[in-house]
Amino acid sequence: MSRRRILLAAAVLLLVTIAAVVRNQIKVHRGRQARHAAMQQRHPVIPLPPEVARDRQALFDMLQPVALSNCELQRFGERNDGGYLMCANLLGAVESGYSYGINGYDKWGCDISKAADVPVHQYDCFNTDRPSCWRGKTIFHEECVGARAETLEGRLFDSVQNQFLKNGDGTKRIVMKIDVEGAEWDTFLAMPDSTFHQIDQLSVEFHWEEDAKLGWAHDARYLKAVQRLKQFYEVAHIHFNNASCIPDLAPFPSWAFEVLFVSKRLANVDASRKAGGRHPQDARNNASLPDCQAQGP
């Protein structure tokens, strides 16, 4: 085959791959819009029991960022949903990346792989489409993350620490992003200290879950999980997902919110400055919906 035909075939393959990723993102976007509308309809604002209001405020306060003197925030990933702010200047010692819950696309993982020159392991057992990463190294695993190794409805799950070990990363320094629709709470509660110590930066999209009556769950795991995270990390940034804005979770303006945790081994806290607020590189997850960022305490 001539060189011209090889280049043409490669270009066609690249275009087909890009088109498939775009179609998948459109499908995901439409699904989230529909979910947003349904949530708005079934969540009227009602008075809260004092203990529920107290625990929500306590969780909100724990997630407020501190000012770090050594963190240069930069956006990695998609322009809207799928983009996360990380401390770009603190990626130098990272040896491997992990991207959990990619849903068929993962520009974050590709960007991190190229910026830090490391492999990024991608995990998803619900959407098994494998995105490409031009000039980066991403490795897809048809598996989900959870508290333990198990098979649920034919899907494989395993713990973060086990996945690190299976990939030969049991002692390496890690950068991680996790967006797994509520599975993050049990995942963090099951993680040992040694695994937390490995992770230099951890970007999490938290999801508030509904209870059996379709109200917002008053779940002790939320406070416990964040308290555990704060043993090892400083909160460097928080961004509320505007595809999830809701009026009845005050002081939270949305039921999904992205938080950047930076290891206390790396973070230099500047107590003289106040952090928080919208960053210039923050973007609405859904460009067609209004924003709903919260003010700090």
| pLDDT in the model for residue 201 | 99
**Entry field: residues in the chain:** 297
Reply yes or no on whether the pLDDT at 286 is more than 70: yes
Q: Give the helix, strand, coil percentages of the chain, each rounded to 5.
A: 35, 25, 45
Cis peptide bond N-terminal to 247, omega within 30: no
| pLDDT in the model for residue 39 | 61
pLDDT in tens, 113-149: 999 999 999 999 999 999 999 999 999 999 999 999 9
Query: Minimal CA–CA distance to 204: which of 231, 173, 237?
Result: 237
- Look over the chain and give the mean of its residue pLDDT values, rounded to a whole number: 91
Q: Name every residue whose Cβ is closer than 8 Å to that of residue 17 and which is 6 or more positions away in sequence.
A: 131, 132
Pairwise pLDDT comparison (164 vs 214), residue with the higher score = 164
Q: What six digits make up the tokens of 95?
A: 């040896």
The share of the chain scoring above pLDDT 70, in percent, equals: 85
Whether residue 109 contacts residue 99, with contact meaning beta carbons closer than 8 Å, is answered with: yes
What are the structural domains of the chain? 3-263 (3.40.50)
Q: How confident is the model at residue 194 (pLDDT cuts 50, 70, 90)?
A: very high
| pLDDT in the model for residue 257 | 98
Asked which of 75-84, 145-154, 206-215, 229-238 is least confident by mean pLDDT, the reply is 206-215
Reply yes or no on whether the pLDDT at 180 is more than 90: yes
Whether residue 241 contacts residue 283, with contact meaning beta carbons closer than 8 Å, is answered with: no
For the entire predicted model, the pTM comes to 0.87
Q: How confident is the model at residue 24 (pLDDT cuts 50, 70, 90)?
A: low
| pLDDT in the model for residue 43 | 74
- Bridge partners (DSSP) listed for residue 158: 145
Average pLDDT over every residue of 193-206: 98
Q: How confident is the model at residue 212 (pLDDT cuts 50, 70, 90)?
A: confident
| pLDDT in the model for residue 214 | 81
Phi and psi angles of residue 123, each rounded to the nearest 5 degrees, phi first: -130, 130
What pairing do the DSSP bridges indicate for beta strands 73-77 and 83-87? Answer: antiparallel
Return the beta strands (E) in 13-132 as ranges: 73-77, 83-87, 96-100, 120-123
